[in-house]
Structure 1
Amino acid sequence: MGMLDYPVFVVTTQADGRPSGCLVSLTSQTSVQPPSFLVSIPRSNPTCEVVIACEYVAVHVLARSNQVLAKLFLSQTSDEDERDKFERCSWRSGPAGMPILDDAVAWFVGRMASWTEVGDHVAYLLEPVAVWAPECTEDLLYLSDIDDLEPGQESDSAVSPFRPRDEPRRYGVPRFTLDGF
C-alpha cells in the first residue's frame, strides 16, 4: 500500500458560523453520472464530527507548490485553534456558505448524500453542486510530496514550498511482507 500515491485534498465546512477543515488523502470518484465523490476523514480528526453535522462540504485540490497550506490543514487542533487555521490562510465564503480556500487550484462543493464508518475513518458520499476547475498547468500535490509530515504536527513556515521537479517521487516503506509470494 505504501507504493500507492494519491492526490491530497483539503476538506472544509462550516457549522454554527465556525469554519473547520482538514487534509484528506482517502478519496475517490464513485460515479460519473450522476457525479459523486467519496471523502474519508479519520474519526480522530475534529473536523470529522463537524462534517457529520453539515449538509455541505467543500473539497479543494492543491498544487504541489501548496505544501505550506497542506501542512496547515494536516494539523489536528481544538475548536479554538481551528479558527486560527483559517486566520492563517486566504479564504472566502462560497456556495452554501462553505469556506473556499483561495490558493486551491480547483474545488467543488458537495451535498452530503450519506456517510458510513469504514475502519478508523468516516466515509462521506458527496454529490457536487458547485464546481470551479480552471485549466491548470501546475503539478498536483500528492501523498509522496508530504509523506514526511505527521498528523498533529504544528504548522510553521519552514516547510519547503516545493521540491525540484526532477526529484523522483518517494513511496512509503513496506510495513510487512507476504512470505512465499
Structure 2
Amino acid sequence: MDEQAKKTALRGISYGLYVIGTKLGEDVNAFTGNWVTQTSFSPPLVAIAAKKGTASSDGIHDSGVFSVNVLESGQKDLAFAFFKPISRVGNKFGDVEFYTQTTGSPILKDALSWFECKVVHEYDQGDHVVYIGEVVDAGVHRSGSPMTLQETGLFYGG
C-alpha cells in the first residue's frame, strides 16, 4: 500500500471538533474529540471514540454516560484547551464555565449546542474504544456554524 496515498485519502474524511464530557465518580472530565457521528434516527444514537486507557474513556465506561458539546466555527482556542488535562474548580475548567443536566456530564456554556447520551454499546477497537450512546437530552445555546477540523489546520487520518 502507498502510505502517502492512504494518508491523503483518509484525510479527506470530514470531521467536526467537539468537547466530549463525562462523569468520573463524583467529578467530571472533558476532552477534545473529532470522532462523532449519528448512527440512528430512531432511537437517536450517536457514536464517539475515546483513546483507550485515558481517564475520559475509563469515565465513559464506568459511568455509562457522555455529553457532546458542539463548538462554533472560530472556537479553536476552546477546542485546544481540552487537548490536555485541565483542572476543574467548581463549575469551571480553567476559565471555561460548564453546567450539568440529565446525565451529570459537563455542558459548556460557550458551546453552540449540546447533547447527552447513555451508553448502549461499547466496542474495543484498536487504540480507541467506540461508544454508541442513545441521546437522552439536548439543547441549543445559539445558532451558528459548527466548527470543523479543517479550519484549525490540523489533520487526522493515516
2:16 is aligned to 7
Q: 1:6 to 1:51 in 2, by over 3 A?
A: same
| 1:134 Cα deviation after fit | 5.7
Counterpart of 2:149, as a letter, is: L
Question: Secondary structure of the residue that 1:90 maps to in structure 2?
Answer: strand
| Aligned: 1:142 with 2:151 | no
CA contact (8 A) 1:110 1:130 kept: yes
Task: Write out per-residue CA displacement over residues 30-70 of structure 1, whole angstroms, 9 at most, x where no aligned residue.
Answer: 10111100011111543111111112211110001211110
Structure having the larger proportion of residues in strand: 2
Task: Write out per-residue CA displacement over residues 87-141 of structure 1, whole angstroms, 9 at most, x where no aligned residue.
Answer: 32011122222211001111011111121111211001100111113661x2211
Percent identity, aligned pairs only, is 22
* Whole-angstrom CA distance in 2 between matches of 1:101 and 1:30: 24
Partner residue of 2:51 out of 24, 42, 56: 42
* Whole-angstrom CA distance in 1 between matches of 2:157 and 2:114: 33
Counterpart of 2:98, as a letter, is: W
CA contact (8 A) 1:19 1:82 kept: no
| Aligned: 1:58 with 2:67 | yes
1:115 is aligned to 122
1:16 is aligned to 25
What value does the CA root-mean-square deviation take over the aligned residues? 2.2
Unaligned runs of 5+ in 2: 1-9
* Whole-angstrom CA distance in 2 between matches of 1:147 and 1:51: 29
Q: 1:43 to 1:173 in 2, by over 3 A?
A: closer
Question: Secondary structure of the residue that 1:65 maps to in structure 2?
Answer: coil
1:68 is aligned to 77
Q: 1:28 to 1:22 in 2, by over 3 A?
A: same
Q: TM-score, normalised by structure 1?
A: 0.73
Task: Write out per-residue CA displacement over residues 119-177 of structure 1, whole angstroms, 9 at most, x where no aligned residue.
Answer: 211001100111113661x22111112244xxxxxxxxxxxxxxxxxxxxxxx4996xx
Partner residue of 1:83 out of 85, 88, 96: 88
Runs of 4+ in 1 over 4 A off after TM superposition: 172-175
1:132 is aligned to 139
| 1:83 Cα deviation after fit | 2.4
Q: TM-score, normalised by structure 2?
A: 0.83
- Which protein is bigger by CA-based radius of gyration? 1
Counterpart of 1:53, as a letter, is: D
